[in-house]
Amino acid sequence: MVAETHARSRVGAWVSAISMGPGAARRSGAPLPVVLHGGDVKRLVRTSRKFESSRCGWRARRVRIEFMRKSVTIEEARRLLLARSDVLARGVSERELRAMVDNGSIVRVRRGWYVDSAEWEQLWTEGRHLMKVLAVHRESAGGGAAFCFASAAVIHGLPLYRTSTTYVHAVLGPTSRSRVKWGVARHHLTVRESDLVEVEGIRCTSLERTVLDLASRLTPEAAIAVADAALRRIAVRRHEQDHIAAAEWRDELGRRAQALSNRGIVRPER
């Protein structure tokens, strides 16, 4: 049974959970999934206090429980994202807006787009990158940009385990070269029309194409997290896995991977 990250917390250092089954996690050397709910946090506090008063020498004094971060849907992210005109319509002057950015009360997602700092601090990396993607989408001519790689992943709701999200990634089309401009990396990719989909009005590479693209670009641990979360979307219903659907999906990815000859993708043996 696949496992998907539902919540993450910080206890001293960040405890990162990736979406994979325990067996796959052990084989890859990646950390096992950690799911923390309200009761878990209370138990951790009690446990830390217990170690605090013991002589176990486990550095319990450094254990800290911080607020739970949250995931965000596309609809929620759209409500949080503010254009400069939205902020100014609230009676804020340009000078006051610059001061708000400087003092950290509001975060500039990219030029002309903002989000309240309190909301921003609660978002995981995926949510923050989604905000950037939405900003680029809203300012692109006709909203016609098609997103790929990590940017497509957050649109599909896939995890980005230890993955850099410096740039928003978009498909450039059949031109001579890729380029980076104003925080957007535009890639020269050959993408079939069937590999482009629309998710809540945003064009991006399909779930399968996104998994294949990232499998050849990310670390094994990050690629496993992406593939496992995608597999859950395809083959898990009400916590039960449809093994036939899962096998068919893996076989299809394997066939496509062989055709693409992408580095890091191995067709599973039956």
The answer to whether residues 41 and 91 belong to one domain is no
Q: Which two tokens stand for residue 17?
A: 């959970």
The answer to whether residues 54 and 83 belong to one domain is no
CB-based contacts of 187: which residues, under 8 Å, 6+ apart? Answer: 148, 149, 169, 170, 171, 172, 178
What residue type is assigned to position 132 of the chain? K
| pLDDT for residue 196 | 93
Count of helix runs (H) and strand runs (E) in the chain: 11, 13
C-alpha 182 chain-centroid distance: 21
The answer to whether residues 51 and 82 belong to one domain is no
| pLDDT for residue 131 | 96
Domain range enclosing 253: 74-260
Of 144, 161, 239, nearest to 196 (Cα)? 144
Output 240 or 156, whichever has higher pLDDT. 156
Q: Which two tokens stand for residue 216?
A: 């050849």
User: How sure is the predictor about 57, in pLDDT bands with cuts at 50, 70 and 90?
Assistant: very low
Structural domains of the chain, count: 2
Q: Which two tokens stand for residue 236?
A: 């898990």
User: How sure is the predictor about 253, in pLDDT bands with cuts at 50, 70 and 90?
Assistant: confident
Q: What percent of the chain has pLDDT over 70?
A: 67
CA-based torsion, 169, 174, 179, 180: positive or negative:
negative
Answer with the one of 22, 39, 62 that is the final residue of a domain.
62
The answer to whether residues 94 and 50 belong to one domain is no
